[in-house]
Amino acid sequence: MRSLLFVVSSFAVTILAWGMYGPVLHWGQHGMSTTGDLARWRPFVCVGLAYFAIGVIVPAVLLKLRGEQGEWTVRGIVFSLAGGALGALGALGIILAFQFGGRPVYVMPLVFGGAPVVNSFLTITLTRRMKEIGPVFIAGLMIVLIGAVTVLLNQPHAPKPDADKAEAQTEQVEEEKPVESTPVLDFFMRIASILMAVVCWGAYGPVLHKGQAAMNQSRLRPLLCVGLAYFVIAVVAPNLWLAGNPEASAYNFGGSLWSLAAGAAGAIGALGIIMAFNFGGKPVYVMPLVFGGAPVVNTLFTALLGGLWNEVSALFLAGLILVIAGAAMVLVFAPRDTQPPPVETPRETPSDES
């Protein structure tokens, strides 16, 4: 029971942190833009810097001062770095989805609704438990997905502005958008970006779990590898790109602060997952629960702070309930180890017959 409480507490931290990730990152993109549009690369750099501080510097200091169980292994390093790369590419997918017109109130539920499907089937495939999948487990996954889509279709909308103000805003957006950008192209790029985040974040948990297992259940070493991967993909690569491709954005206090906060939320969420695995949690139910609970936090957080609470409909709340119910079903009916412990065969003793 105590171990279960630690598992639940660990992934609850991830649910809260990742639930606030999207809206906070969206604020950072707005704050760094110099044209009123959304910035892309500089907020991504801030996310990478936050991951580097929490995922590299802190674990390195703790390992130096206190040490930890586990050990460095080549297999563990490779899988942990791969997990970090998937996490960083998923974060980039979120940024691109916002860049192409997506909004946190529906982008994040779609990502968090689709990722557990990828996660669960990848985990089951890696552990060769496809035959152990039960109908209730599949039903839980489908309910999570249906709930996320229901949230998308019934998302709360801000009150429409006055006609004159709306026309002025439309003209401003048309002036700021590149000539080659069209609504159809933006739509397909938005969907592609969301799918990128779904696949990357869906594969993140199983890959990171294999890295942690290969390091003998170390907590800090896999997190350090995740932070290093984020640093390369989210800090080094964007700065090299910006050197030859300027962007209409700038580092400033407000935008940088929100973007760093988003990165910190992502890193703390990753640590929560590692802790949940360390206390005995399994990716096949930890990750679906995270991806089921995070969109609830995300949407409520967005609705409350965006002044959309009065626009929340009964169908929207029903979608959130479906997400929670489906996640609970996944937890209860996830495939588990059912192999009985090995039976010791008694040794034959030589008889005393003469």
Q: Which residue has the tokens 């580092």?
A: 251
Q: Is residue 98 assigned to a domain?
A: yes
**pLDDT tens, residue by residue, 203-242:** 887 888 889 889 988 888 988 998 899 899 999 999 999 9
Q: Is residue 151 assigned to a domain?
A: yes
Mean pLDDT of 281-294: 75
Distance CA 272, CA 138 (A): 26
pLDDT(285) > 90 = no
Mean pLDDT of 270-283: 80
Contacts of 166 by beta carbon, 8 Å cutoff, 6+ apart: 160
Mean pLDDT of 101-106: 78
pLDDT attached to residue 166? 43
**pLDDT tens, residue by residue, 327-353:** 777 767 767 655 444 444 444 445 544
Q: Is residue 354 assigned to a domain?
A: no
As beta bridge partners, residue 249 has 33
**pLDDT tens, residue by residue, 197-207:** 989 988 887 88
Contact 189, 96 (CB under 8 A): yes
Asked which of 32-41, 177-186, 271-280, 295-304 is least confident by mean pLDDT, the reply is 177-186
Using the 8-state DSSP alphabet, how is residue 66 labeled? T
* Total structural domains within the chain: 1
Q: Is residue 137 assigned to a domain?
A: yes
Q: Is residue 167 assigned to a domain?
A: no
Contact 240, 7 (CB under 8 A): no
pLDDT attached to residue 158? 62
Q: Is residue 340 assigned to a domain?
A: no
Domain that holds residue 147: 2-159+183-332
What angle (nearest 5°) sits at the alpha carbon of residue 241, between those of residues 235 and 246? 115
Q: Is residue 77 assigned to a domain?
A: yes
This prediction's pTM: 0.74
Q: Is residue 10 assigned to a domain?
A: yes
pLDDT attached to residue 345? 46
Using the 8-state DSSP alphabet, how is residue 53 labeled? I
pLDDT(298) > 90 = no
